[in-house]
Structure 1
Amino acid sequence: MALDPQDLADLIAIRDAGTLSVAAKARGVAISTVSRRIEALETALGLQLVDRRSDGVRLTPEGLAIAEASAPLAEQLLRVARVAESLRQGANSVPIRISATEFVISDVLAPALGRLWAMGADFPVHLQSQADVVSLAGRDADLAVRMVRPEGASLYARRLAEIRLGLFASVDYLSGRAPEAVDLADERLLIYDDSFGRLPELEWVTQRGLSDAVAMRTGSTRALLAAVVGGAGIAILPLPFAARIECLVELPNATPLPTRAPWMIVHRDMRSLPAIKMVQKWVAATFASL
């Protein structure tokens, strides 16, 4: 019985994605191609691997077992593909791919890259700005930083140093009002949407009965910062960064804001590699220094 590694990789992608369309996008092929490959794999194995439903697809118990057994082979093939890509580009080493949100990439990790080189890193780094949860099992990234702890037995998650939050408004928005006199229920609140998961400050807004005051939701930190600096309203922002902006004023609040707890995530099979260990140490130290 000859098995096509591509078919096995497609099965793993379906397991991780939950839909054919997302799996096909992750694999860089058409939905029809993934569907055809899975049918061929089912015929070759004599098993039903995918339960096709009106609301999506789900692996059968047999499909989950085959996906689990296939994972090491698929990961090795992806490793070979990455090494080949690196060689074609003339690089001497395979880059480490780090996935994080726009804010973490641009305001936390990118400014601290010099510290990684100072630690002796001799490999290139790809900083991938992504709001969605990438598949570490599918090697979309080697390491990820997320604001919500992910699920998955194959993943190792380490909680990083907490980020303090504050309420901020521009001087123009306050128009001479005393910060302590501001009643949030009567203001325009600018907050994140659910792109990063259910962030603790979103729960805080709901619990305080401030949902009706929300005037803007966004998945972009840059958009949130631009809106509050432009005087559009009051935003909940990371304290270490918002405090640096001269036109912003922190507002006191009787109910303490929650802290945001970022998570560093790596695949368990990758975490002991020397380059990955160095990057983990660098990321942890970078967040601890905020």
Structure 2
Amino acid sequence: MPLDPQDLGDLVAIRDAGTLSAAARLRGVAVSTVSRRVAALEEALGLQLVDRRTDGVRLSREGLALAEAAAPLAEQVRRVERVAESLRQGARRVPVRISATEFVISDVLAPALGRLWAMGADVPVHLQSQADIVSLAGRDADLAIRMVRPEGASLYARRLADIRLGLFAAPGYLGARAPEELDLARERLLIYDESYGRLPELAWVERHGLAEAVAMRTGSTRGLLAAALGGGGVAMCPAPFALRTAGALVEIPPPSPLPSRQPWLIVHRDLRGLAGIRLVQKWIVEAFAGLPGGG
């Protein structure tokens, strides 16, 4: 029985994604479809490629070895699909899909949308609110904005303007106390959780012995700002967004400089040369560079 490149691609996706359900999302098909294809591949090769356990499906030793061998072919198939879609874009207006966190979309990109049209863009954009990692190779999105530089030879990453972090509190929380006199170890700190990975500011909190002062953790920038505005404590958050509160928050001097956020604009190398993608990239770079109070 001849091998189906689709089946081999599913095997590689299981290796990359780690689970059957994640591989199905990566491939854009149902879990049952991936399971059926893998079973067909096992029958064709006469090998057990996955270990089916109560806690999920994992590649066997043979499956891992075969996935390694199939990876170049799977990438070549994806490349053909990307080139074909690029050629189709010349005949119709295909949306440029941008994956970013909800706050980047609502407070960086959406407010700057008029600038994109002013630059002469004639392609629609799809702003996808996603905190998790997307597969540009699998065509989950065309562009992605993330706070951690990705790995992968097929990806091109451009560092955007740094985003300065700061400590902010409402005047009602401070009362009569001067901002520079605060002992952060005695305050209620509002900080990010690890939704986006091990962010540098979390290490800063531990280095200064402030872990016991943390009163709230969240993956939501808007949640941090809302808690600070409500008098919930001292929030560690991106300065450009806190400064937009028109004086409703007061910046607190930190005991040592806070690390800056380092956002990255990511695109698959096969798409970089498309005129629409290039223009949208330029717009994103300018949108981040224009943030107030940036680093």
TM-score normalized by the length of structure 1: 0.88
Equivalent position amino acid for 1:23 in 2: A
Match of 1:220?
A: 220
RMSD of Structure 2 on Structure 1 (CA): 2.6
Equivalent position amino acid for 2:117 in 1: W
Q: Is 1:119–2:119 an aligned residue pair?
A: yes
Correspondence list, 1:130-169, <5 A: 130-169=130-169
Match of 2:22?
A: 22
Secondary structure (helix, strand or coil) at the match of 1:11 reads: helix
Equivalent position amino acid for 1:111 in 2: P
Shift of residue 141, structure 1, vs aligned partner? 0.6
Asked whether the 8 Å contact 2:50–2:57 carries over to 1, the reply is: no
CA separation of 1:112 and 1:47: change in aligned 2, threshold 3 A: farther
CA separation of 1:68 and 1:25: change in aligned 2, threshold 3 A: same
Match of 2:237?
A: 237
Match of 1:65?
A: 69
Deviations 1:84-135 (A, max 9, x none): 9x9xxxx941111000111111111111111111222111100011111111
Shift of residue 2, structure 1, vs aligned partner? 4.5
Match of 1:107?
A: 107
CA separation of 1:274 and 1:51: change in aligned 2, threshold 3 A: farther
Match of 1:274?
A: 275
Secondary structure (helix, strand or coil) at the match of 1:191 reads: strand
Equivalent position amino acid for 1:172 in 2: G
In structure 2, distance between residues paired with 1:113 and 1:56 = 43
Say which is worse superposed, 131-140 or 26-35, in terms of deviation: 26-35
Equivalent position amino acid for 1:286 in 2: A
In structure 1, distance between residues paired with 2:49 and 2:68 = 8
Equivalent position amino acid for 1:70 in 2: A
Match of 2:31?
A: 31
Shift of residue 7, structure 1, vs aligned partner? 2.8
Secondary structure (helix, strand or coil) at the match of 1:151 reads: coil
In structure 2, distance between residues paired with 1:36 and 1:176 = 67
Shift of residue 211, structure 1, vs aligned partner? 1.0
Q: Which runs of 5+ in 1 are unaligned?
A: none
Match of 1:257?
A: 258
Secondary structure (helix, strand or coil) at the match of 1:60 reads: helix
Equivalent position amino acid for 1:255 in 2: S
Shift of residue 213, structure 1, vs aligned partner? 1.0
Shift of residue 51, structure 1, vs aligned partner? 6.4
In structure 2, distance between residues paired with 1:12 and 1:75 = 15
Asked whether the 8 Å contact 1:195–1:219 carries over to 2, the reply is: yes
Say which is worse superposed, 275-284 or 33-42, in terms of deviation: 33-42
Secondary structure (helix, strand or coil) at the match of 2:34 reads: helix
In structure 2, distance between residues paired with 1:62 and 1:257 = 46
Asked whether the 8 Å contact 2:5–2:73 carries over to 1, the reply is: no
In structure 2, distance between residues paired with 1:283 and 1:15 = 32
In structure 2, distance between residues paired with 1:206 and 1:155 = 33
Secondary structure (helix, strand or coil) at the match of 2:167 reads: strand
Asked whether the 8 Å contact 2:159–2:264 carries over to 1, the reply is: yes
Shift of residue 4, structure 1, vs aligned partner? 4.4
Secondary structure (helix, strand or coil) at the match of 2:138 reads: coil
Q: Percent identity?
A: 67
Q: Which runs of 5+ in 2 are unaligned?
A: none
Aligned length: 285
Q: Is 1:248–2:252 an aligned residue pair?
A: no
In structure 2, distance between residues paired with 1:131 and 1:24 = 19
CA separation of 1:121 and 1:255: change in aligned 2, threshold 3 A: same
